[in-house]
Structure 1
């Protein structure tokens, strides 16, 4: 990558050395070193700013979230057919696992033995996922923003734009959605939109007259948002020089793409701080549970942090529905599309769209990184 600003020589050398040991298969694992810091100073600073935490509190939260993510697979296996979903509880600092009321005492003990707190619920995750799949088959009007399974409420949540609640098409959709299973309707201030932008100044990549942001380096290129351009489109870097082109792209239905890198550019396992915070090394792609803290880097608004609100949400853009998205409370603005979502040092996904802005707040969705890697057979570039 032809870039000298924001890249200190020492860090660049470290990134290059780290790449020699980064040829593992996905999903990439977290760092195995017990002495590894929980995050870079820049990420901790962003969390202190956006969450109102002290440095020690931010470090403690990241450590608790990492522990919750580590025990989540075993806790889910222990719950078996009674599994109703899981999430990170920021107040207790622990993973909570929902199990149906029919779960045996042995199952409950096994989930607790895995290290999780247990909550009894009515519906299993399998039942909720099936209900959401039935909602996915409905044709949604633009007044319906999105829908997802909410394990904390044990229901499928349908989000409706506040000003469109009385619309006949919206009411018809909600009525049919309720027939699909347990559904709760909530309102949101605005409809979602993607965060691509026309050509402006800054430090982005460009395709045609669209500016977007790099997501994560993979061996041979980088991943980004599919709505930024279609397969075959050429890509230029911040300095106007040619990088490569879109090797694959999907939007709507999905919102992901990958771009090959050549012509004197190269990849590094880092999320850029854009001069606002120090750069963040990427060490893996372990999934952060619902409730975890998460931060985003983009070429327009740089670093912002928030919380994972929902997973596997279907987002109803004007161009069509996009599935299996993760919703966050992090803000974003045009030009941030494709940019990095990261939790600690673990890659999470690429920015798709949302509503609001970074002055008044909002919500943003990302397409999970492991889905993109699996779709195109890519390997995340890690330190």
Structure 2
């Protein structure tokens, strides 16, 4: 059977869909932290993916002695927060920068648990920021004065473990597209092509697959059916190709070329990333937080990657990548690509593990 090409461009990339773009921001200043001693060994020059691997190894080795990490893109080095000098020496011996901070990950996780119990209000989000060594809580424009006061009391009760910010944006769902895929419930985008059991599938946002079950390409030809969907809680969906179409492992760069995708990588705070979507096409930015929680009106999604990449309605469901590595699927955010904004992404590694699929 001859393979049918999708007119315009190949199904390769990201897109957008029923998302809820949400706001948040970080102040990149250290709080209650000290820089490593001048005599500390020189940190190794690392790429962001290499820094992510080193961070995972150090966190595993240090256990409770590690208090988060982030990638210093300017110095091209990994910075690891620690609680004492012994852990600092281990970090420096491995080729990373050590920084002694006040709050342990257990304490910050405790703060997040308090927020979940006492401050789960639609229009809010929170994420652990290893640069400030705090949990940053953000409220959008829909949060009322009474709710803001309630948030303030909860955050104040957490002392130096959290800070509260207000966003001018609004957390709201929307439908539209990237490298467009559509159905009767609206239009979304393909995130990344994957393989499962030797068969071709693609990943997109879970809020897309919750609304749409059968997918068509830009010419209207049916190309896939939902296999698995997770939203809220997570935000990913797996769709099985039902048509013989090209499905290369690449991302549309909207300039006549594409970025090959050879695998997936864990996000690291400070990692430079690129997002592709049909509304605003390609935009770059930086990972600003991990394990973010967003309280959409449709429900709470946790474990998200937070970035300063802009996005607009229609970019949801699209791909976030760093070089040739898949990183995330657009979940939601706030702002726009004129004035700027923040965007949250479902980690691709979690979606791959949950669906039993592989980049390919």
Q: TM class by shorter-chain length?
A: 0.7 to 0.9
What is the alpha-carbon distance in structure 2 between the residues aligned to residue 295 and residue 183 of structure 1?
29
Show the counterpart of 1:81: 64
CA distance in 1 between partners of 2:241 and 2:293 (Å): 31
Which structure features the higher share of strand residues?
Answer: 2
Distance 1:4 1:113 in 2: 54
SS in 2 for 1:80: helix
Q: Does 1:210 align with 2:213?
A: no
Displacement of 1:318 after TM fit? 1.9
Structure 2 CA distance for aligned equivalents of residues 317 and 118 of structure 1? 36
Indicate the SS of the match to 1:229.
Answer: helix
Structure whose residues are more often helix by fraction: 1
Structure 2-normalised TM-score? 0.82
Q: Any conservation in 2 of the 1:145–1:191 contact (CA below 8 Å)?
A: no
Match status 1:92 vs 2:71: no
What are the Cα deviations for residues 306-350 of structure 1, in whole angstroms up to 9, with x where unaligned? 010111111122222211111111111122111100011110110
Matched, 1:128 2:108: yes
Distance 1:139 1:319, change over 3 A: farther
2:320 to 341, 355, 361: 341
CA RMSD, 1 decimal: 2.4
Aligned counterparts of 1:170 and 1:377: Cα–Cα separation in 2: 41
Instruction: Give the Cα–Cα distance (whole angstroms) in 1 for the partners of residues 332 and 81 of structure 2.
Output: 30
Deviation at 1:353, TM superposition (A): 1.1
Unaligned stretches of 5+ in structure 2?
Answer: 13-44
Taking the aligned partners of 1:231 and 1:196, their CA distance within structure 2 comes to 10
| Equivalent position of 1:174 in the other structure | 152
Q: CA offset at residue 209 of structure 1?
A: 4.1
1:350 aligned residue: 329
The 3 A distance-change label for structure 1 pair 235 and 6 is closer
Instruction: Give the 3-state SS of the residue equivalent to 1:228 in structure 2.
Output: helix
1:359 partnered with 2:338: yes
Report if aligned partners of 1:192, 1:315 keep a CA contact under 8 Å in 2.
no
Provide the rounded CA distance (Å) in 2 between the counterparts of 1:196 and 1:115.
Answer: 45
Q: Quote the residue 1:188 is aligned against.
A: 167
Q: What is the SS of the residue equivalent to 1:230?
A: helix
Aligned counterpart for 2:282 among listed residues 303, 324, 328:
303
Which residue of the partner structure matches residue 278 of structure 1?
257
Cα drift, residue 137 of structure 1: 3.1
